Structure 1
Amino acid sequence: MPRRALVSLSAWRYDGPVNSRPEVSLAQRKRQLVSDELTEAALQLLATKGFEAVTIDEIVTAAGVSKRTFFRYFASKEDVVVQFLAGMGAGMRAELAARPAEERPSVALLHAVRVSLAACAAHIDSSDGSDRALRVVRLILRTPALYARFLERQARWRDDLTAELARHLGLDPATDLYPRLAAGMALTAFDTVLQRWSGSDGTEDPAALLDRAFAVMAPALDAAGRR
């Protein structure tokens, strides 16, 4: 069973020099690897069989760990699926922070959202040639409990993007409406693209859909964001 898929979305990766406490780094790396294995096994099963049909016993058997280990990392099956989204918010904020100060808000936000969309769309299970990312997205959007968690996650992303956009533009998010409205528009575009991609059974290109969505929003984003 391939283990590539969820590794690229991990929020933490060690790529620096060995520090003065290597035993801590090793423990962190082991925890991340176990988490990735559990998430990968769960997504393989959930995307194939559906959320309600999969048990935690099946997940731990597929991952080769105990149920006790599962609950050390996740409180529920919902939490496993939310792990699929774990690094997206941080990735969006980091990309927005890295954009040039003089760049138009619509362009900066497009690049920020594109980072998460690309990470999501790149998750393909090469063992059967099918697009597992599409199946997982469909699973999230069509399962009420998972979609509720997805919306909770998006609320955190909106807060992060609001704060970063305000910093990027030199605005006060407590008094200026623009940063939060613009962040909300960007995430609405992201959600709309996922819905459209899922509804088309993957026949539409999500990157092209995102470009079209931001083309619609750009005049309002750039006019309101200009100071």
Structure 2
Amino acid sequence: MRSPRPYQPSTEPGPKSLTERRKAATQLDIARAACALFAEHGPDGTTAEDIARAAGVALRTFYRYFRSKQDAVAPLLAGGADAWRGQLAAETPGVPLREALERAVVTSLSVPEDEQEGLRWTRGLLRAATGDPALRAVWYRVNQDSEEQLVPVLARLAGPEADPLEVRLLAAAATDAIRVALEVWAVGDAPSTGPGGPADTAVRCLHELTGGMRLLH
């Protein structure tokens, strides 16, 4: 069997084809099944066969999309990053970058109680990742992918005169701000909204990491 590639979120612009939408839906079904099983049994107590069975797919279908049981949760972890980059991409070039970044972070991480499935999944997965190096590796890879995809978004907003190095550093800092905020929130007992929540902590991290960046002044 050919070794599958690690899960990669789509970066192609424009609407997806029916085949692409079906593929994404299958990946998300598998990811939700993996997350639920990890929450109940832990990564060590869950096999790829268990995940495939719970998702209602054949084992060969599982391995067509994911190379390991830990890799199966990547679509859920990537979903939040996709959402906040989408918020930022909707901003108008020339808008103050600090305002745009904070607005995107707060909007994507401040979700109503009945729409917090993604945050609950993320919290559970990050807690499980503390004892599972392979799961942590998936989390780090998702963040690295997000950082790389953030660079052109920030470059467009900053304009053609912006220093590419400063744009690259801002992408790294913004990605790390959200990553650290979610990790700190996940292992604590703060609620999903308000002080100590993901949005509040992410904005604080963003201020700390980008305070001296010329691109934001």
Q: Same fold (TM over 0.5)?
A: yes
2:177–2:202 Cα contact (<8 Å) kept: yes
Q: Percent identity?
A: 29
- Mapped partners of 1:53, 1:189: distance in 2: 32
Give 2:202's aligned residue.
Answer: 210
Equivalence map 1:87-102=2 (5 Å): 87-102=79-94
Q: Return the index of the structure with the highest Cα Rg.
A: 1
Distance 1:225 1:62, change over 3 A: same
Out of 45, 60, 64, the residue aligned to residue 52 of structure 2 is 60
Distance 1:32 1:131, change over 3 A: closer
1:134–1:202 Cα contact (<8 Å) kept: no
C-alpha distance after superposition, 1:41-71 (max 9, x if no partner): 1110012221111011211222222212212
TM-score norm. by structure 1 comes to 0.72
Out of 124, 127, 130, the residue aligned to residue 117 of structure 2 is 124
Query: How well do the aligned residues superpose, as a CA RMSD in angstroms?
Result: 3.3
- Mapped partners of 1:88, 1:29: distance in 2: 18
Structure 1 residue 91: deviation in Å?
A: 3.3
Structure 1 residue 184: deviation in Å?
A: 1.4
Structure 1 residue 142: deviation in Å?
A: 4.2
Distance 1:132 1:93, change over 3 A: closer
TM-score norm. by structure 2 comes to 0.75
Distance 1:220 1:100, change over 3 A: farther
Is 1:73 the counterpart of 2:65? The answer is yes
- Mapped partners of 1:193, 1:114: distance in 2: 12
Structure 1 residue 172: deviation in Å?
A: 6.3
Give 2:32's aligned residue.
Answer: 40
Give 1:144's aligned residue.
Answer: 133
Give 1:169's aligned residue.
Answer: 158
SS in 1 for 2:78: coil
- Mapped partners of 1:34, 1:207: distance in 2: 29
- Mapped partners of 2:89, 2:150: distance in 1: 9
Distance 1:118 1:72, change over 3 A: farther
- Mapped partners of 2:126, 2:101: distance in 1: 22
Listed as ranges, the gaps of 5+ residues in structure 2 are 1-8
Partner amino acid for 1:200? G
Structure 1 residue 218: deviation in Å?
A: 5.6
Structure 1 residue 192: deviation in Å?
A: 1.5
C-alpha distance after superposition, 1:112-164 (max 9, x if no partner): 34455457x95439xxxx94442123223542112122222222222222222
Partner amino acid for 1:169? A
Structure 1 residue 193: deviation in Å?
A: 0.6
Is 1:194 the counterpart of 2:187? The answer is no
Q: When the two structures are aligned, how many residues end up with a matched partner?
A: 201
Structure 1 residue 213: deviation in Å?
A: 2.5
- Mapped partners of 1:90, 1:135: distance in 2: 19
Give 2:3's aligned residue.
Answer: none
1:162–1:179 Cα contact (<8 Å) kept: yes
Give 2:78's aligned residue.
Answer: 86
Listed as ranges, the gaps of 5+ residues in structure 1 are 1-9, 17-23
1:137–1:198 Cα contact (<8 Å) kept: yes
1:113–1:186 Cα contact (<8 Å) kept: no
Out of 217, 220, 225, the residue aligned to residue 215 of structure 2 is 225
